[in-house]
Amino acid sequence: MPRKVDHDERRRHIVEALLHIAGTDGLDAVSLREVAQQAGVSMGAVQHYFATKEEMLAYALRHWLSLSVHARFSGRVRVRLGAETKPEAVLRALAAEYLPHDEASRFDARVAAAFLSRAAVDPALAQTLVPAIGGFVGTLKALLDSTGTRLDTATEARRLAALLDGLRTPVLLGALPHDQAMAVVEQHLRDILARDR
Amino acid sequence: MPRKVDHDERRRHIVEALLHIAGTDGLDAVSLREVAQQAGVSMGAVQHYFATKEEMLAYALRHWLSLSVHARFSGRVRVRLGAETKPEAVLRALAAEYLPHDEASRFDARVAAAFLSRAAVDPALAQTLVPAIGGFVGTLKALLDSTGTRLDTATEARRLAALLDGLRTPVLLGALPHDQAMAVVEQHLRDILARDR
C-alpha cells in the first residue's frame, strides 16, 4: 500500500526552501523555478500546493512566524542567558541576540526586512505581520512590567521595539557595529529603568 | 540638425519610472518590461542605458537619495514648521513628517523599505545606503547639538534615528497609528532634552 503523502509536510518543505532563498538572496530571487530547484521538487509540484506566488509567500511568512523564527530565537536567547533570570538581563540578552551578529541572526534580519518591505505593498502579508509586531511589543511589555517599574510600559515597550528594529537594519548593512548598537541599547535601558528609582 | 539627446535626462526619466513602481508595488514588481512601459520607452532603450537590473537599481537609489527624497522631504518639513526655528520644534516636525501620514510620506517609506531590504543582499546598494544612513544621523546630531544639550549627541543621534526608523515600519503597515508613534517620539524627546537641565 503506498504511503500516504503528508501534504502539510510537503508545503512546509517548499516554504522552507523559499525562506532559504529569501534569507540568502532576498524575495526578489524567489520564483517558481528557484523554489522548486531549492526544494528539489518539480515546478508542477510547487504549483500543486500553491496557486500563486502571493499564496506561497503568505504561507511561508506564517510558517516562519509560527515555528522557526520564535523557537530558534528564544533558544539562542536562553543559551546567552544561562542561569540568569532578572528581567533587565533578559532584555539585554534579547537585544544582543536580535541585533545581527552571526549567520543565524543575519538570516533572520534579512528575512524580516524582506517580508516587512513586501508587506508595505501586499495587504495579505501586512495582515499576518501586524499581530506579530504586536506580539514582540507584548513580550517587551511583559518584561518591562516584571522589572517593577512604574513607567507607562505600553509606551515604553513600543519605544524599545522601535529602537531595536531601527538598530537592526544599520547593523545588518554594516553601517553600525554591533557593539555600538548595544551601547545605544544599554544607554536606553539605563535611562528607562533608572527614571523612577 | 537633430537635437542632441540628453543621456542623463533619459537615465533619470527611466529610474523615475522605476521609483514609481518601487513605491507603488515594491521592488519585486520592477522588471525590464514594467520599467519600459511605465517610462513609455522601448525595452531596448532601457537596456541601452542600463546593462543589468542591478545597475539600474543602483542608479535609481543614487538618484532618489541625491535629489528627489531629500529636497522634497526638507520642503515638507519647512511647510510644517512655518516661522518656527527652535531645534526642538525642528526635531518634532522632522519626526512627524518622517512617519507615514499621507501619500508622499508613505511613498518615501515604501521606497526606503524596499531598498533597505534589497541592500541586505546587494553589496552595491548597501555601499550607497550606508553614507545616507550616516547623513541622517548627522542631521539629527547637528540638531541635538544646537539644543545646547550636554548629552553624548553622537549616541543620542543614533538612538533617535533608530527610533524613527523603527517606528516608520509599523506606522506604514497600519500596526501603529501616527499619533501613537508621535506620542513615543514626544516622550523620547522630553526624556533626552530634559535629562541635563
What is the mean predicted confidence (pLDDT) over A24-35?
A: 91
Task: Note whether residue A116 is domain-resident.
Answer: yes
pLDDT at A120 over 60: yes
d(CA B156, CA A22) in angstroms, rounded, equals: 33
Task: Note whether residue B126 is domain-resident.
Answer: yes
d(CA B127, CA A60) in angstroms, rounded, equals: 30
Task: Note whether residue B106 is domain-resident.
Answer: yes
For B188, half-sphere exposure in the C-beta direction (CA atoms, 13 angstrom radius) is: 30
Q: pLDDT of B134-171, one tens digit each?
A: 999 999 999 999 998 889 999 999 999 999 999 999 99
B141 touches chain A (CB under 8 A): no
- The overall average pLDDT reported for chain A is 91
Task: Note whether residue A1 is domain-resident.
Answer: no
Residue A50 burial (C-beta neighbours within 10 Å; 0-12, 13-18, 19+): buried
For B162, half-sphere exposure in the C-beta direction (CA atoms, 13 angstrom radius) is: 31
Of the listed ranges A36-45, A164-173, B68-77, the least confidently predicted one is: B68-77
d(CA B51, CA A189) in angstroms, rounded, equals: 49
DSSP state of A29: G
Task: Note whether residue B47 is domain-resident.
Answer: yes
Q: What's at A167, amino acid-wise?
A: L
Sign of the CA dihedral running A23, A16, A52, A134? negative
Test A27 with B24 for CB contact under 8 angstroms.
no
What is the mean predicted confidence (pLDDT) over B16-42?
A: 93
Report the residue of chain B nearest A114, measured CA to CA: B117
Test B117 with A116 for CB contact under 8 angstroms.
yes
Q: pLDDT of B89-144, one tens digit each?
A: 999 999 999 999 999 999 999 999 999 999 999 999 999 999 999 999 999 999 99
Residue B129 neighbours by CB under 8 Å, 6+ apart: A173, A175, B61, B65, B115, B116, B119
Test A159 with B119 for CB contact under 8 angstroms.
no
For A129, the 3-state DSSP assignment is: helix
Residues A13, A45 contacting (CB under 8 angstroms): no
Q: What's the CATH code of the domain at B46?
A: 1.10.357.10
Task: Note whether residue A180 is domain-resident.
Answer: yes
Q: What is the CA radius of gyration of chain B?
A: 19
Residue A182: what pLDDT? 96
Report the residue of chain B nearest A162, measured CA to CA: B166
CA neighbor of A54 nearest in space, from A126, A133, A135, A112: A126
Residue-range definition of the domain harbouring residue B137: 7-194
For A168, half-sphere exposure in the C-beta direction (CA atoms, 13 angstrom radius) is: 28
Report the residue of chain B nearest A29, measured CA to CA: B28
Task: Note whether residue A114 is domain-resident.
Answer: yes
pLDDT at B38 over 60: yes
Stated as kind and residue range, the H or E segment containing B43 is: helix B43-49
Q: What's at B163, amino acid-wise?
A: L
Closest partner residue to B158 (CB to CB) among A26, A130, A184 is: A184
Test B162 with A167 for CB contact under 8 angstroms.
yes
Provide the domain count of chain A. 1
Sign of the CA dihedral running A146, A149, A155, A156? negative
d(CA B6, CA B52) in angstroms, rounded, equals: 21
d(CA A122, CA A126) in angstroms, rounded, equals: 6
Task: Note whether residue B2 is domain-resident.
Answer: no
The residue behind cell 506579530 is A132
**How would residue B193 be classed by pLDDT, with cut points 50, 70 and 90?**
confident
How many inter-chain contacts (A to B, CB under 8 Å) are there? 143
Counting DSSP H helices and E strands in chain A, the numbers are 10, 0
Query: What is the ipTM, given to two decimal places?
Result: 0.91
